[in-house]
Structure 1
Amino acid sequence: MSKYETYETYETYDRGVRADVYTDGHTEVYEDTYRPAYEAHEPVFPRQAGTAEPASETPARHGRRRRADRPDSGSAMRRLVPQALVVAFLAGGTTAFVAKDKAIELNVDGKPRTLHTFADDVTELLAQQGVDVGAHDVVAPGRDAPLASGDEVAVRYGRPVRLTIDGQRREVWTTARTVDGALEQLGVRAEGAYVSTSRSQPIGRAGLALDVRTERTVTIMADGRARTIRTNAATVGEAVQEAGVGLHGEDTTSVPPDSFPRDGQTITVLRVTGTREVREEAIPFKVERTDDPTLFKGTEVVERAGHPGLRRVTYALRTVNGVKEKPRRVDDELVREPRSQLVKVGTKPMPTSVQGADQLNWHGLATCESGGRPGAVDPSGTYGGLYQFDTHTWHSLGGSGRPQDASAEEQTFRAKRLYVRRGSSPWPHCGTRLHG
């Protein structure tokens, strides 16, 4: 249609006035001289009952009456002007109405439709159409973009994907409607990868959980030989199996078999042979000491001897790739509880003076008998201490326990008392040193 073709035609209620509205917006108003055939004769109305036309009226008179009833040209133009204004107003409103209407193609999540709207921008259009969009949804063009007839508006809903890729878990959003589209959109290398679900599976608005294991290069060292493979295995154990390496008995790998194999990782297979060994081990006893006021200070008497306990321990002995490892304790069993040793500790002050013996050379005698060592014991085990007392003599002098367990001061005190009783005879070989 050219701009000079008629867009719409209006006709006033008075016959004879016509208005044409053109596509360029201008309007032409003119008098319509066309008369239908049915208006060429005076209409004939039925006469009312009781009325009669005067006989004196002639056809010529009828003709004059019709000419008198027809409006003159001035009257017709006066009616034409306001009617033309009405037509022009209507034509202008129609043009504005047509300009505001827009034909838009709206595609909501892959479902296109064409519609007419008076919306000025994308936000207003979506509100009119009841399309709710969230923070993860994509609208193109932008939500504030103005609209023009012929525009296309696309809405892509976001979908949550709980993605576990190569053992790393995270939650991401995608506007793709299928698993394959999501992998491409997220930049996941899908070639050779394991995908936990069909790649053509649609993704609903609620999203889905997706496990992806990309293909990786892993080197398996076993039995002196390296095997490099491409794998999407979930565990080191699966990768070793894919490499054609078997694990037997206690064999294991240098990293946990259930761990995730990383790209470029080298995994060593450990050939393990092992035995078990049971050993009996002594458990040391405790020593419990109590004060005894009847004993001189420095004197300790064993009231009850202690006994060690016994434990049966099992050790694992392993050889890994021909190398022996340190024994590993795997089990133990208590065979006998240890028994504590009870010791009395003297708290009584020790006298140092014995009348008639204090001025003798006790240091010389001790050096001769024991080399000056309070804990000395002869090879037979019969004599002990600085002055080599036997147990019977020691007890007769008031000593407790063994002489070699008493302090040096107590041993000297007991030796002085023995000298007062028997002189130097108890020390037949070294007694002479007392006076030297």
Structure 2
Amino acid sequence: MSNYETYETYDRGVRADVYTDEYTDATQVYEDTYRPAYEAPEPVFPRQTVTAAPGRADRRRRADRTASTGSTMRRLVPQALVVAFLAGGTTAFVAKDKAIELSVDGSPRKLHTFADDVTELLAQQGVEVGEHDVVAPGRGADLASGDEVVVRYGRPVRLTIDGHRREVWTTARTVDGALEQLGVRAEGAYVSTSRSQPIGRAGLALDVRTERTVTIMADGRARTIRTNAATVGEAVGEAGIGLHGEDTTSVPPESFPRDGQTITVLRITGTREVREEPIPFRVERTDDPTLFKGTEVVERAGRPGLRRTTYALRTVNGVKEKPRRIDEELVQEPRPQLVRVGTKPMPPSVQGADHLNWHGLATCESGGRPGAVDPSGTYGGLYQFDTHTWHSLGGSGRPQDASAEEQTFRAKKLYVRRGASPWPHCGTRLHG
């Protein structure tokens, strides 16, 4: 607040105001040079002279003066009435004049005004106020002589406090005053600029990090510290804990540490492992009307591909994690397998061979297994055909790849041609 004292120097008849600013402890003296323009001069009447007793000539001159004096009084009476009227108006004029103390953003001054309220006073003085400015008393308050009117301009502050950004308005003129006005706990806090820095009308950007309690778990120990660090990584460093290699924390190191937060340091050791993995081939099937239904012939064998994969192997605080794939390379593409699928209907029978015991022969030759192959790889199927004989009977591919029905059909055709001789050991089963 500002303190004013009024002194009057009677030797010079000058009134002076003394202003003391509590921010600077400086004392200034303001001389009141106000002189109302409406003060009227007092009327001046002619001075009369008294003489000794008159003679005749004197009596004549006295009569002439009496007549002249009467005429003069007749002229002065109206003038006196006008002066009295003006004096009454002057009293009313003086009653509306007010001595006001106006402080605008910390700069005080004294003035005289005929304004009826604060709004009119500010308009007369050319003081513009906005929605964020403070006027005390209120803008519509009535004025009386001796009143004090204070105007404080609002200033925008782009405040970031503990990672949260917002824009606020303050009438404080310094950073320290703004922090106090905004209720920010400044003890132990980090402030991005000097606390004594003045805040201009354009405002400023201010970053504040209050002091917080953080617990850090590392290497089997708990450390609790008070910090105003901007990141978790900084707080860990303040606790005297070092991070090496792939070490990290349970929350991102660049995140903001919160009050009461517990942070765990993760000690990580890691290696890489390269594995070669097969890629399965696909099977492409096409219909073949030359093959009996149920018969599939592999026209081209498939070939699996090869993939080389790199995995990261990590151990966190002594515990192994699941391998994580970090890279892969295609070494060889898989080749699809081509298969022909028979669509030709099977003939109902082969005359002269349908009545024989083909089940007994198949059991003797292959154990009744359509895909059986002898140890030498020469004979295959239910009836152990060699490839040459199979093709001579109209078969395609390998006999063991054909259906059981087709194999029996080809065996019947062979019997019609050569009898039971193709099966020297088991041929007797055909009649058994």
Instruction: Verify same fold: TM over 0.5.
Output: yes
User: SS of 1:163's equivalent?
Assistant: strand
Alignment correspondent of 1:25: 22
Q: Which of 11, 15, 18 lines up with 2:12 in the alignment?
A: 15
Whether the 8 Å contact between 1:270 and 1:320 is mirrored in structure 2 is: yes
Name the CA shift for 1:41/1:310 in 2 (closer, same or farther; >3 Å): closer
Deviations for 1:395-430, whole angstroms, at most 9, x for unmatched residues? 222222223333333333323323322334444555
Whether the 8 Å contact between 2:231 and 2:255 is mirrored in structure 1 is: yes
Deviations for 1:324-346, whole angstroms, at most 9, x for unmatched residues? 11112222222222222222233
Deviations for 1:214-267, whole angstroms, at most 9, x for unmatched residues? 111111111111111111111111111111111112211111111111111111
Whether the 8 Å contact between 1:17 and 1:80 is mirrored in structure 2 is: no
Name the CA shift for 1:368/1:86 in 2 (closer, same or farther; >3 Å): farther
Whether the 8 Å contact between 2:18 and 2:30 is mirrored in structure 1 is: no
Name the CA shift for 1:364/1:60 in 2 (closer, same or farther; >3 Å): farther
Return 162-171 or 329-338, whichever deviates more.
329-338
Name the CA shift for 1:330/1:123 in 2 (closer, same or farther; >3 Å): same
Name the CA shift for 1:62/1:34 in 2 (closer, same or farther; >3 Å): farther
Alignment correspondent of 1:6: 3
Return 191-200 or 296-305, whichever deviates more.
296-305
Whether the 8 Å contact between 1:159 and 1:175 is mirrored in structure 2 is: yes
Identity across aligned pairs (percent)? 90
- Superposition deviation, residue 431 in structure 1: 4.6
CA–CA separation in structure 1 for the residues paired with 2:184 and 2:201: 21
User: SS of 1:23's equivalent?
Assistant: strand
- Superposition deviation, residue 191 in structure 1: 0.7
CA–CA separation in structure 1 for the residues paired with 2:35 and 2:182: 77
Residues matched between the structures, number: 426
- Superposition deviation, residue 39 in structure 1: 28
Return 237-246 or 27-36, whichever deviates more.
27-36
Return 407-416 or 392-401, whichever deviates more.
407-416
Q: TM-score, normalised by structure 1?
A: 0.79
Return 341-350 or 61-70, whichever deviates more.
61-70
Whether the 8 Å contact between 1:194 and 1:214 is mirrored in structure 2 is: yes
- Superposition deviation, residue 136 in structure 1: 1.4
Alignment correspondent of 2:57: 62
Name the CA shift for 1:24/1:396 in 2 (closer, same or farther; >3 Å): closer
Whether the 8 Å contact between 2:366 and 2:382 is mirrored in structure 1 is: yes
CA–CA separation in structure 1 for the residues paired with 2:262 and 2:300: 63
Return 123-132 or 41-50, whichever deviates more.
41-50
Whether the 8 Å contact between 1:16 and 1:34 is mirrored in structure 2 is: no
CA–CA separation in structure 1 for the residues paired with 2:35 and 2:244: 114
Whether the 8 Å contact between 2:38 and 2:90 is mirrored in structure 1 is: no
**1:298 equivalenced with 2:279 (yes/no):** no
Whether the 8 Å contact between 2:20 and 2:28 is mirrored in structure 1 is: no
- Superposition deviation, residue 87 in structure 1: 2.7
CA–CA separation in structure 2 for the residues paired with 1:30 and 1:339: 104
- Superposition deviation, residue 368 in structure 1: 5.3
Name the CA shift for 1:64/1:31 in 2 (closer, same or farther; >3 Å): farther
Return 249-258 or 43-52, whichever deviates more.
43-52
Whether the 8 Å contact between 1:16 and 1:31 is mirrored in structure 2 is: no
CA–CA separation in structure 1 for the residues paired with 2:106 and 2:123: 19
Deviations for 1:104-155, whole angstroms, at most 9, x for unmatched residues? 1111111111111111111111111111111211111111111111111111
Whether the 8 Å contact between 2:306 and 2:333 is mirrored in structure 1 is: yes
CA–CA separation in structure 2 for the residues paired with 1:169 and 1:264: 21
- Superposition deviation, residue 178 in structure 1: 1.0
CA–CA separation in structure 1 for the residues paired with 2:79 and 2:354: 161
Whether the 8 Å contact between 1:17 and 1:30 is mirrored in structure 2 is: no
Runs of at least 5 residues in structure 1 that lack an aligned partner in the other structure: 53-57
Whether the 8 Å contact between 1:352 and 1:409 is mirrored in structure 2 is: no
- Superposition deviation, residue 362 in structure 1: 4.2
CA–CA separation in structure 1 for the residues paired with 2:160 and 2:33: 85
User: SS of 1:92's equivalent?
Assistant: helix
Name the CA shift for 1:237/1:15 in 2 (closer, same or farther; >3 Å): closer
- Superposition deviation, residue 294 in structure 1: 2.9
Aligned residue runs from structure 1 range 231-250, under 5 A: 231-250=227-246
Whether the 8 Å contact between 2:361 and 2:426 is mirrored in structure 1 is: yes
Return 316-325 or 346-355, whichever deviates more.
346-355
Name the CA shift for 1:108/1:227 in 2 (closer, same or farther; >3 Å): same
- Superposition deviation, residue 67 in structure 1: 3.4
Whether the 8 Å contact between 1:19 and 1:84 is mirrored in structure 2 is: no
User: SS of 2:38's equivalent?
Assistant: helix
Q: CA RMSD in A?
A: 10.4
Name the CA shift for 1:140/1:36 in 2 (closer, same or farther; >3 Å): closer
- Superposition deviation, residue 275 in structure 1: 1.7
Alignment correspondent of 1:276: 272
Deviations for 1:40-68, whole angstroms, at most 9, x for unmatched residues? 9999999999999xxxxx99675455434
User: SS of 2:314's equivalent?
Assistant: strand
Name the CA shift for 1:40/1:200 in 2 (closer, same or farther; >3 Å): closer
Q: TM-score, normalised by structure 2?
A: 0.80
Alignment correspondent of 2:324: 328
Name the CA shift for 1:81/1:397 in 2 (closer, same or farther; >3 Å): farther
